[in-house]
Chain A
Amino acid sequence: MANLLWLQGGACSGNTMSFLNAEEPSACDLVTDFGINVLWHPSLGLELGEGVHKLLRDCVSGEIPLDIFVFEGTVVNAPNGTGNWNRFAGRPMKDWVRELSEAAQFVVAIGDCATWGGIPATAPNPSESSGMQFLKRDRGGALGAGFVSKAGLPAINIPGCPAHPDWVTQILVAVATGRAGDLKLDEFQRPATFFTSFTQTGCTRNMHFAYKVSATEFGQRKGCLFYDLGCRGPMTHSPCNRILWNRQSSKTRAGMPCLGCTEPEFPFFDLMPGTVFKTQTMMGVPKDMPTGVAKTGYIKLTAAAKAAAPAWAEQDIFVV
């Protein structure tokens, strides 16, 4: 039996909604098949008021062993570093976060807000939000760069806006069943099993990417979304086209550009007007190249690919 506590800071509950839609395994499977005991969750917990307060105190003191502490949302530090804009159970949430993280065997940060600050931490960041161990790309965050939980791991970051439900439940199962040692984390403490490949890996538009045929409007079934509509699939680490959403689709498959939400910089360009859903270019060439591709190579590749493009690449091949 592994005790799990889930709290929310500066959050929209999107990751909770995602979590509740998990299928492989489902949220119920965690309890019935994998021995996870959900001590409390903002949407599922039965205790109220003093009951929650006592439970939190018992987790901090060790009276209740806390195996997994899950945090969703940013750690709010406003105003002036006090954290009083996000009070919970009688004190700033950031104080609970620090003490519970120190008491837990494992700390899991779910979603962009908890991992790197996400949208709330976008400039000018009025809520002085940060992630658990990062603020955007900078190490540190609420727990500090050197933090490791009792089991010896830093916070396990599962980013996304929201995180895919099965990324969440599969990591929780790994941790709860004693297989945390099998988890390899990348430089941003993301499980490498999910965040080494790209969103583009498995995208149904890869042929259009290869032949440089662009989608020019949302929802078009032909064409690649990278060239014009700002898709960040070629430079975003996620398995969105390998572990499908709702088990059947993804943003790019549905004609919606990837927003790069599993990367620390999300939302990109601080949401300045004209930067969303539009590929940013400099003199006609994309500012952000697919990861590992140089500008000169890209230009040469474009010329060759356009010259070699077959006729079908310009047509809608996903007919119904």
Chain B
Amino acid sequence: MPGEEQDKLLIEITDLLASGLKTRTEPFPEDARQFAEILDELRQLATDDLEGKLVVGGFTDHPYGEDQQRCLECMYYLVHRKWCDLPELSLPVEPEWWCRLWRI
């Protein structure tokens, strides 16, 4: 995705989360099977359904949980691109955000 387009999308997501978009932060997938179920749900969405991805993914614009988990430590986060590389999401994200597909 070209830089300008990515920046624009990042602003759009930032605004959506700041506006209080209710996302499904719970339940956190405890195992690979539950994780796969969320991925299946994401695959049902249209590729341009941004709000749907944020809701099903359970995005927050701040660290989450007792351990203050955040994108920065997540396996799918590309630090330099500020990008979530999980194919079902493929979104620009900030390092201090979080979603329930977090894993390390």
| A positions within 8 Å CB-CB of B | 212-214, 216-217, 227-228, 274-275, 278-286, 298-299, 302-303, 306-307, 309-311, 314
Interchain CB contact under 8 A, A278 and B80: no
Contact stretch, chosen from B13-21, B29-37, B45-53: B29-37
Quick one: which of A216, A274, A311 contacts B76, CB cutoff 8 A? A216
Interchain CB contact under 8 A, A217 and B87: yes
Q: Does B11 contact A (CB under 8 A)?
A: no
8 extra interchain contacts, Cβ-Cβ under 8 A, other than A274-B32, A278-B36, A303-B72? A214-B75, A216-B76, A216-B85, A275-B32, A280-B31, A281-B35, A306-B77, A307-B79
Q: Does B78 contact A (CB under 8 A)?
A: yes
CB distance from B19 to the nearest CB of A (A): 27
Interchain CB contact under 8 A, B79 and A228: no
Give Cα A283 to B27, complex, Å: 11
Give Cα A309 to B72, complex, Å: 11
Give Cα A214 to B78, complex, Å: 9
Give Cα A299 to B73, complex, Å: 8
Give Cα A314 to B80, complex, Å: 8
CB distance from A276 to the nearest CB of B (A): 10
CB distance from B16 to the nearest CB of A (A): 24
| B103 contact set on A, CB distance < 8 A | 227-228, 279, 281, 284-285
**Contacts A216-B86, A285-B104 given: A314-B32 contact, CB under 8 Å?**
no
